[in-house]
Amino acid sequence: MMLKILFPLVFVAGLWFLIRSIGRIIEIYGGKKVSLPLDRPLPDFQLSEPGAYEIAYRRPAMLGIMPTKVLYRLTSLSDGKHFEATNVVNHLGSRKDMTGSRIVPVAEFSITETGTYRLIVEQLPEIKKGDGLIIMKKTGSKGFLMIFAILASAIATIGGLVLSILAFLGKI
């Protein structure tokens, strides 16, 4: 009798955590982004929240080397203050977008106030067609950890459902 209560609870809890985990990963990667194409001069852009940001390099190729040793400088247009971006390649944050382009975080910076900014890119190596930069809130390893949360909750959901059915059929 105890199993007929326990396994459906595992199923419901797993389903609830699965939905929450998927929502969280969408929140992490689906937030506000600034896309800057590299085939023309970089436009000025607006950052609406202070905090830590990352600069990710987007390349539409499946293979190849991503330029990581690049100097990025950020300038606030309101007061002329300069911000240095630290080169930090985050392989745990690498991902693909809906077009199949690889996105690899290559630098990060912090700002203290909202406003309009200009990004200056120094000594950029060979630019391929479709290359660009994406500026977004820093994700760190949150997305990588959320994949494991999705896997664990999916296993709990499927396991709870199968074991619930077996318990109600009297096979356990």
pLDDT at 7: 93
pLDDT at 81: 87
Rounded CA-CA distance 45/49 in Å is 13
Instruction: For the chain, give the mean pLDDT.
Output: 87
pLDDT at 48: 86
Rounded CA-CA distance 52/69 in Å is 20
pLDDT in tens, 104-154: 888 899 988 888 999 888 877 777 888 889 998 887 777 778 889 999 999
Report pTM: 0.74
All residue ranges of the chain with pLDDT < 70 are none
In the chain the first and final C-alpha atoms are separated, in Å, by: 10
Compute φ and ψ for 157, nearest 5 degrees. Answer: -65, -50
- Domain segments of the chain as ranges: 2-169
Q: How many CA atoms lie within 13 A of 137 on its CB side?
A: 13
Beta bridge partners of 136: 33, 54
